[in-house]
Chain A
Amino acid sequence: MYASRKSRWSLTGLQVLLSAFFLISVVVPLIRMLANMTGADFAAIVTSNRFVKALVNSLNISLTATAISVTLAMALAWCVVRTGIKHKNLWILLFTLPMLIPSISHGMGLLVLFGSNGILTRLLNLQFHIYGFWGVVTGSVMYSFPVAFLMIADVLKYEDSAPYEAAQVLGISRIRQFAVLSFPYLRKPLICVVFSVFTLVVTDYGVPLMVGDTDTLTLPVMMYQDVIQGMDFGKGSVIGLVLLTPAVAAFLIDLLNQDSGNSAFVLHPFIIRENKLRDGFAYALCLAVSLFVLLPIGVFLLLTFVNKYPVDLSMTLRHIQRAMDMGAGKYLGNSLFIAVVVSLVGTVIGVTAAYFTARVQTGASRFLHLVAITSQAVPGLVLGLAYALTFRGSFLYNTLTILIMVNLVHFFASPYLMIYNCFHKLNENLEVVGATLGVSRVRVFFQVLLPQAKATIVEMLAYFFVNSMMTISAVSFLANSSTRPLSLLIPSLEDTMMRESMAFVSLMILGVNLMIRLISNWYKKRVSQ
């Protein structure tokens, strides 16, 4: 280390401070939640019929949805990365649209389309209905496949074509190429994708709350009902612990799976040859999926602006007015405020932490890196409950601050890893060169590192913002009628059967998030030029 002793101590001090922050914001609430279980009869809860049924349902639904999601995502990633289709950025935007609205909206979209009184049910005179197992699976696929798609597309983009060319020269068949080259290459990242998607689905309560019936009660719904309706925090904590297991497993597998990352590696990009049949197939698939994604959004528009579908098709602003009367405007204000503060504060903390872990290698940096990504192992619902238990009765409870805190911690890991990778890729000797030139670390940070991380920082801001706008899981136990974010208006409107207003609220969230996404895409494109 070239840094002087004094500055090395102050660097270590800051790292200890950051580590303490993460320990307090993640670990302490979890311990508080676990301690809360002492009052509950653990054995009685886990062996109860209701729990066992919910567990089996959760596993069935999540496994099925994960299998479909990952397969679909692989096909779409292949379309976007390895075929000659046009307008790839537009397709990517379309496929990731579902990431911009809460899972509960997906559930509602399905209800409006395929419910017993649904638009398509009536229009096509369908004999099946959406409630139950397949409805929950469909909704879960809808909001989880974009995550898998982005992850797999990223992996495919960085695959080397040289082994394939060598295999072709050696006359090895396409099928064998897939078995001996593609599969081993994809295996590790695919394990991570599978676990991430599974965790996402198994901990979600938005979709099953909307389209589930009594036979498809899942663990998160049970937890939601026990805590929100039954005020039984002990039972909630037990379920929280169970939900923590797959997430922790995913986290550990991801940790063990991490590639050392060879930046000096020379990549031979794939050359996409002309193939009309392949492209035709890709277009068909992309179009079908886009339709699947856009259909609910179209329906939201229809419901919002039409008087009463299908009885009265005249245009109206009545539903918007009603949503506004119920406080949609005020809650939008709450949401925007939370999202902006989480973005700014989260990004500053993320950049600072990543600077220490990626650019200053001291004893504490490995530890800091680990605690910075632990929040990934805690599902939002569990984190929310842990926060509710820890801060009940404190001055933070019932404030916007606690909502900001919980979102910041909940969504921290991904943007942190973005900037960590970015800093890691920059030349390792920049600070050394700076030091020999008499340029301080602080200057190198602000004038050399940050300007090169602009695109990543915008991506971080957008990630925090979009997710804070749409989340319902982490905030559901913590918000009250005055601090409530807009997304939580959806479940409460559901209780009063105001579908049209729910559709409008979903559109509001989509609108804001889409705008943020487009701005960040535009900025990234500008920077890369």
Chain B
Amino acid sequence: MEKRDLSQKNDKLVVENLSMVFSKNQILKNVSFTVKDGEIISILGASGCGKTTILRILIGLLQPTGGRIYKDGRDITQLPSSQRGMGIVFQNYALFENMTVLGNVEYALKCDKSKRATARETAMSLIRRVGLADYVDHMPRQLSGGQQQRVAIARTLAMQPDVILLDEPMSALDAETRLTLRGELQSIQKEFGTTMIYITHDQEEAFALSDRIIVMRDGEIQQMDTPQNIVQAPANEFVKRFVCDNLRIKIDSLSRFA
């Protein structure tokens, strides 16, 4: 595991020439990008663009056909998921249905000898911070979608990962819950300083949440930039249509009532 001197100090994650081939289909074509420490990055694209494949490769569920991933300058391409120091929040939450809210959040801590003694305390403080103090003894099935989402986030935060991957975490929620959670996600990010990679197909969400956005199409990065720069200078016709036009339609339809 060689150290790379090339990487800048605050580069959290460096993805280099990632490619993926599934039975002759090229799912990813030379995908390269860098994520800075503490950033929220969105990977935005329609279904089938390869965004979920990137996530699965980042967390270690898939081995890429080619390319490397570096975290803090260290090559993690071959590491198993458990040693990558990353957390993941799935669209369907994947909560432990047989455990209470508290059980879910403190479970990983209790499995770790060095953290066992303070497990309860840490878990309670996380639960309080995501606003579920009144629900500690509830089972997941007794909670709303938004509340389950928060449990999933608190559970991930318990192990203090420095990168959290979020797989379309809002897509099953109603508009109002999305808005609240979006704000909470940002404040959690600020408080914990965690780097977040957010997979979504929703332009509005990507723009509201992210420091930078990666626009994907057919396994290739179309543009990676700040929301502002993307709107002002879309890299090509696709980005203009897929991102800017869609946003404009939403804004226009609202301004009619303004």
Chain A residues close to B by CB (< 8 Å): 1-4, 426-430, 432-433, 435-440, 443, 447-448, 451-452
Interface string of B145-162 (1 = CB under 8 A from A): 000000000011011010
Residues from chain B with a CB closer than 8 A to the CB of A426 are 97
User: Which 7 pairs, one residue from A and one from B, show the smallest C-beta to C-beta distance?
Assistant: A437-B108, A429-B94, A2-B81, A451-B98, A435-B81, A427-B94, A4-B80
Q: Is B238 positioned at the interface, with any CB of A under 8 Å from its CB? A: no
> Which residue of the partner chain B has the closest CB to A428?
B94
> Which residue of the partner chain B has the closest CB to A452?
B98
Residues from chain A with a CB closer than 8 A to the CB of B95 are 427
Minimum CB–CB distance for B22 against chain A, Å? 14
Which of A3, A429, A430 is B80 in contact with, Cβ under 8 Å?
Answer: A3
Looking at A436, A440, A448, A451, which has the most chain B CB atoms within 10 Å of its CB?
Answer: A436
Minimum CB–CB distance for B52 against chain A, Å? 12
Number of interface residues of B (CB under 8 A): 28
Q: Which of B85-93, B173-181, B198-206 contacts A (4 or more CB under 8 A)?
A: B85-93
Q: Is the CB of A435 within 8 A of B98?
A: no
Residues from chain A with a CB closer than 8 A to the CB of B111 are 437-440, 443
Question: How far, in angstroms, from A494 to B97 measured CA to CA in the complex?
Answer: 53
Q: Is B133 positioned at the interface, with any CB of A under 8 Å from its CB? A: no
Q: Is B25 positioned at the interface, with any CB of A under 8 Å from its CB? A: no
Whether A436 touches B81, Cβ cut-off 8 Å, given contacts A2-B59, A429-B92, is yes
Question: How far, in angstroms, from A189 to B97 measured CA to CA in the complex?
Answer: 31
Which of B86, B92, B99 is A436 in contact with, Cβ under 8 Å?
Answer: B86
Q: Is the CB of B87 within 8 A of A436?
A: yes
Q: Is the CB of A427 within 8 A of B92?
A: yes
Question: How far, in angstroms, from A436 to B164 measured CA to CA in the complex?
Answer: 10
Residues from chain A with a CB closer than 8 A to the CB of B107 are 437, 439, 447
Minimum CB–CB distance for B27 against chain A, Å? 17
Q: Is B61 positioned at the interface, with any CB of A under 8 Å from its CB? A: yes
Whether A436 touches B98, Cβ cut-off 8 Å, given contacts A2-B60, A443-B111, is no
> Which residue of the partner chain A has the closest CB to B167?
A429
Which of B81, B93, B98 is A432 in contact with, Cβ under 8 Å?
Answer: B81
Q: In the complex, given contacts A427-B95, A429-B88, what are 19 additional A-B residue pairs having Cβ atoms less than 8 angstroms apart? A: A2-B60, A2-B80, A2-B81, A2-B82, A427-B93, A427-B94, A427-B97, A432-B59, A433-B90, A433-B94, A436-B84, A436-B86, A436-B161, A437-B87, A437-B158, A438-B82, A438-B111, A439-B107, A447-B96
Q: Is B245 positioned at the interface, with any CB of A under 8 Å from its CB? A: no
Q: Is B121 positioned at the interface, with any CB of A under 8 Å from its CB? A: no
Whether A432 touches B88, Cβ cut-off 8 Å, given contacts A438-B108, A443-B111, is yes
Chain B interface main SS type: loop
Q: Is B112 positioned at the interface, with any CB of A under 8 Å from its CB? A: yes
Question: How far, in angstroms, from A447 to B80 measured CA to CA in the complex?
Answer: 22
> Which residue of the partner chain B has the closest CB to A450?
B98
Residues from chain B with a CB closer than 8 A to the CB of A440 are 111
> Which residue of the partner chain B has the closest CB to A8?
B80
Question: How far, in angstroms, from A191 to B82 measured CA to CA in the complex?
Answer: 46
Interface set, chain B 12-71, CB cutoff 8 A to A: 59-61
Q: Is the CB of A435 within 8 A of B94?
A: no
> Which residue of the partner chain A has the closest CB to B152?
A433
Question: How far, in angstroms, from A73 to B111 measured CA to CA in the complex?
Answer: 50
> Which residue of the partner chain B has the closest CB to A454?
B98
Q: Is the CB of B80 within 8 A of A438?
A: no
Residues from chain B with a CB closer than 8 A to the CB of A2 are 59-61, 80-82
Question: Can you report 6 A-B residue pairs in the complex whose CB atoms are below 8 A from each other?
Answer: A429-B88, A430-B94, A436-B59, A436-B88, A437-B107, A448-B98
Question: How far, in angstroms, from A443 to B86 measured CA to CA in the complex?
Answer: 19
Question: How far, in angstroms, from A430 to B60 measured CA to CA in the complex?
Answer: 15
Q: Is the CB of A1 within 8 A of B61?
A: yes
Question: How far, in angstroms, from A313 to B95 measured CA to CA in the complex?
Answer: 64
Minimum CB–CB distance for B92 against chain A, Å? 6
Q: Is the CB of B80 within 8 A of A435?
A: yes
Residues from chain B with a CB closer than 8 A to the CB of A1 are 61
Residues from chain A with a CB closer than 8 A to the CB of B59 are 2, 432, 436
Residues from chain A with a CB closer than 8 A to the CB of B87 are 436-437
Residues from chain A with a CB closer than 8 A to the CB of B155 are 433, 437
Whether A438 touches B159, Cβ cut-off 8 Å, given contacts A432-B61, A432-B81, is yes
Minimum CB–CB distance for B104 against chain A, Å? 10
Residues from chain A with a CB closer than 8 A to the CB of B161 are 436
Residues from chain A with a CB closer than 8 A to the CB of B98 are 448, 451-452
Residues from chain B with a CB closer than 8 A to the CB of A452 are 97-98
Residues from chain B with a CB closer than 8 A to the CB of A433 are 88, 90, 94, 155
Minimum CB–CB distance for B156 against chain A, Å? 7
> Which residue of the partner chain B has the closest CB to A441?
B82
Looking at B84, B88, B112, which has the most chain A CB atoms within 10 Å of its CB?
Answer: B88
Residues from chain A with a CB closer than 8 A to the CB of B81 are 2, 432, 435-436
> Which residue of the partner chain A has the closest CB to B80?
A4
Question: How far, in angstroms, from A447 to B61 measured CA to CA in the complex?
Answer: 22
Minimum CB–CB distance for A120 against chain B, Å? 52
